[in-house]
């Protein structure tokens, strides 16, 4: 794409001075999100996700590097200019953080009050925003009277009040049940489609990435470990993101047998051809686990084959000849941390 | 003569109790008002300058906290006597209810400030963060987030403070502050008139009950959690 990215992070570092040893939370992050894109940031706890979102809003000053949102370099702005610049960023929190003393309408009006919008215009805008998130009827309710999903809708309406160019969501669905999660994610996608807003979602739930993200970045120990469009990432079979986005059902722990892991995309090989190739391996080979999913317009299958040790090399050859990705995996599905070394060899 | 008639026709109760009650109400009312006006900002200063506060300032925090602790650790009777020169400077005399307002206020300010500090510290920091991202100024955050969100707790703390002031105000009677305390001491203690003593106790209990009831009702109306 040739358009300027809506969010551009270059060489972002955040170091917390510690007693004796400094803690490096972010170690040279590069990130770029195009206008209208929904970008997911995933990673385990401690990978630097929260620090990243705090640096994007400059709630924390980056130690070095640059943060450009909607064309403005934020990292070096003085506090007063930063306050105005933050109106171009909407932030949605995991725990919503509504003011309990204000009604739903009052909460949504708050950023408009801060921005100095006159009363009449404020009321009209609040009504419009509440309709947008489907809460028009609950304007006079207090947050305590709302369900978790409704609270998050108010949080989203509040974040959108000043018509920001960018919506940052910090674990927006982590405190919600799965049905409510789907509704909130559906709302976020709908808002992107209707308003053209750029969305960055921080999450530890792969389901969020699968549901709505166009592009994804995996953070690990304060660095970008993998990134790319979701469709491309899942097709990089050996990658950690592919394994986590389309996980093979786990096998019992402690099962030390040899398994061959197969991955393919129906763009290259249709499923029946893969199964036919498996059938030619002989009666000793069993499919122990498998999944076929459609993600970002791409149908991807992953199988785990139980292969007698003597037949492994022959099986790998036969499967690769059939055009599928095949590699040896041992025992139960290893976590992404443990097999970090393997995947470089595989790819 | 019935017990009630004896109470009703008692000259001290007829003539001095209403005046003493009014003095206590004035004494407590004015010192409560001053305590709210000065104690609330002081409490907010303590929270804001604390570590992780909006304007962290260790020196200010330590000095203010130290002074507050000293005043709070003095028994009220001693505090009252030791500030007499200051009271004379402000009011012109160290007698009468007006004079009692000075030590009462000085004693209650750090008491309320500490309660304010606790109440405001209970406001979820996420709300402050949300306000910062919205672009609110520090002053805006203090008023619209910290104070507004802590308001039910601030009212409850204020109720506690006013009731403590009712208790202190009786002690102020000892050094000529007037009010129900003075009446109870001069008639109940020095002249050993149990009827006056009981009457004073009843009036004080009623005052405390009314303050508590009003405080609770206001706090409940403000609380939307």
Q: What is the pLDDT of residue A266?
A: 87
Compute the distance between CA of residue B206 and CA of residue B180 in angstroms, rounded to an integer: 12
What ipTM was reported for this prediction? 0.85
Domain range summary for chain A, segments of one domain joined by +: 7-235, 246-346
Instruction: Report how far residue A60's alpha carbon sits from residue B151's, in angstroms, rounded to the nearest whole number.
Output: 29
Map A14-27 to HEC letters: EEECCCCCCEEEEE
Residue from B133, B137, B141 whose CB has the most chain A CBs within 10 Å, to mutate: B133
DSSP-assigned letters across all residues of A77-130: --HHHHHHHGGGEEEE-TT----TTS-HHHHHHHHHHHTT--HHHHHHHHHHHH
Chain segment A165-203, per-residue pLDDT in tens: 999 999 999 989 999 999 999 999 999 999 999 999 999
Q: For residues B42 and B181, which has the higher predicted lDDT (pLDDT)?
A: B42
Report how far residue B181's alpha carbon sits from residue B192's, in angstroms, rounded to the nearest whole number: 14
Mean model confidence pLDDT for chain B? 91
Q: Which of A95, A111, A142 sits opposite B224 (nearest CB)?
A: A142
Nearest-Cα distance to chain B for A296, in Å, is: 32
Least CA distance to B133: which residue of chain A?
Answer: A86
CB within 8 A of A40, min separation 6: which ones? A201, A202, A203, A208, A209, A212, A213, A215, A216, A217, A230
Cβ-nearest to B126 among A83, A84, A97: A97
Nearest to A89 by CA among A112, A69, A108, A115: A69
Q: Which residues of B touch A (CB under 8 A)?
A: 124, 126-127, 129-137, 140, 144-145, 148-149, 151, 222, 224-225
- For B190, phi then psi, to 5°, come to -75, -35
pLDDT of residue A255: 60
Pairing state between β A215-220 and A38-42: parallel
> Which pLDDT band holds residue B163 (cuts at 50, 70, 90)?
very high
Q: What is the CATH number of domain A7-235?
A: 3.40.50.300
Among A121-125, A319-323, B25-29, B144-148, which stretch is predicted with the lowest mean pLDDT?
A: A319-323
Q: Give pLDDT, residue A330.
A: 57
Q: Provide the pLDDT for residue B5.
A: 82
Give, for all 347 residues of chain A, the pLDDT tens digit.
Answer: 457 899 999 999 999 988 888 889 999 999 999 999 999 999 988 888 989 999 999 988 999 999 999 989 998 899 889 988 888 999 999 999 999 999 999 999 999 999 999 999 999 999 999 999 999 999 999 999 999 999 999 999 999 999 999 999 999 999 899 999 999 999 999 999 999 999 999 998 898 999 899 999 999 999 999 999 998 888 888 788 988 888 887 776 556 667 888 999 888 888 888 888 888 888 788 888 899 988 878 888 999 888 888 888 888 998 998 888 888 875 444 444 443 333 333 33
Q: Would the CB atoms of B126 and A59 count as touching at under 8 Å?
A: no
Q: In degrees rounded to 5, what are phi and psi of residue A44?
A: -75, 170
Q: For the whole model, what pTM was predicted? A: 0.85
From chain B, the residues in CB contact with A115 under 8 A are 135
How much is the CA Rg of chain A, to the nearest whole Å? 23
Q: Which domains does chain B carry?
A: 3-222 (1.10.3720.10)
Task: Tell which CATH architecture fits domain A246-346.
Answer: 2-Layer Sandwich (3.30)
Nearest to A107 by CA among A83, A143, A135, A138: A143
Q: Under an 8 A CB cutoff, do B135 and A111 touch?
A: yes
Say what the pLDDT of residue B8 is.
80
pLDDT of residue B1: 57
B136: which chain A residues are within 8 Å (Cβ-Cβ)? 83, 114
Closest residue in B to A81 (Cα–Cα): B135
């Amino acid at each position: 794409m040739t358009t300027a990215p809506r969010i551009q992070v270059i060489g972002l570092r955040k170091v917390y001075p510690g007693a004796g040893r400094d803690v490096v939370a972010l170690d040279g992050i590069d990130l770029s999100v195009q206008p209208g894109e929904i970008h997911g940031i995933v990673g385990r706890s401690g990978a630097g996700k929260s620090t990243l979102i705090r640096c994007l809003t400059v709630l924390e000053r980056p130690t070095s590097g640059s943060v450009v949102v909607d064309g403005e370099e934020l990292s070096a702005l003085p506090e007063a200019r930063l306050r105005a610049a933050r109106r171009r960023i909407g932030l949605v929190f995991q725990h919503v953080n509504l003011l309990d003393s204000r009604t739903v309408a009052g909460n949504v009006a708050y950023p408009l009050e801060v921005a100095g919008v006159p009363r009449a215009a404020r009321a009209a805008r609040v009504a419009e925003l509440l309709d947008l998130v489907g809460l028009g009827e609950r304007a006079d309710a207090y947050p305590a009277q709302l369900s978790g999903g409704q609270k998050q809708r108010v949080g989203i309406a509040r974040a959108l009040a000043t018509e920001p160019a960018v919506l940052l969501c910090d674990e927006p669905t982590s405190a919600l049940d799965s049905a409510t999660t789907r509704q909130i994610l559906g709302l976020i996608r709908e808002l992107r489609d209707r308003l053209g807003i750029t969305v960055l979602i921080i999450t530890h739930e792969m389901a969020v990435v699968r549901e709505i993200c166009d592009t994804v970045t995996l953070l690990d120990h304060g660095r970008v470990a993998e990134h790319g469009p979701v469709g491309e990432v899942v097709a990089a079979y050996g990658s950690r993101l592919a394994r986590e986005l389309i996980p093979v059902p786990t096998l019992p722990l402690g099962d030390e047998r040899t398994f061959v892991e197969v991955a393919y995309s129906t763009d290259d090989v249709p499923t029946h051809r893969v199964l036919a190739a498996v059938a030619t391996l002989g009666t000793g080979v069993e499919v122990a686990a498998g999944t076929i999913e459609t993600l970002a317009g791409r149908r991807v299958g992953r199988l785990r084959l139980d292969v007698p040790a003597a037949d492994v090399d022959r099986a790998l050859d036969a499967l690769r000849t059939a055009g599928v990705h095949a590699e040896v995996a041992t025992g139960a599905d290893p976590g992404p941390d443990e097999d970090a070394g393997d995947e470089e060899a595989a790819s | 003569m019935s017990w009630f008639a004896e109470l009703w026709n008692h000259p001290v109760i007829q003539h001095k109790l209403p005046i003493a009650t009014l003095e206590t109400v004035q004494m407590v009312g004015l010192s409560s008002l001053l305590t709210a006006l000065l104690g609330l900002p002081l409490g907010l200063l303590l929270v804001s300058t604390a570590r992780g506060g909006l304007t962290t300032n260790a020196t200010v925090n330590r000095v203010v906290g130290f002074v507050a602790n000293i005043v709070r650790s003095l028994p009220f009777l001693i505090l009252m006597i030791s500030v007499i020169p200051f009271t004379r400077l402000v009011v012109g005399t160290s007698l009468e209810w007006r004079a009692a307002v000075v030590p009462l206020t000085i004693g209650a300010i750090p008491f309320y400030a500490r309660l304010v500090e606790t109440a405001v510290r209970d406001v979820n920091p996420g709300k402050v963060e949300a306000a910062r991202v919205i672009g609110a100024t520090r002053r805006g955050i203090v008023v619209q987030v910290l104070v507004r969100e802590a308001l039910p707790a601030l009212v409850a703390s204020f109720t506690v403070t006013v009731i403590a002031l009712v208790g202190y105000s009786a002690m102020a009677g000892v050094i000529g502050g007037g009010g129900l305390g003075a009446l109870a001491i001069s008639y109940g203690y020095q002249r050993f008139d149990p009827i006056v003593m009981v009457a004073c106790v009843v009036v004080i209990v009623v005052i405390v009950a009314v303050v508590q009831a009003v405080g609770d009702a206001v706090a409940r109306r403000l609380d939307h959690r």
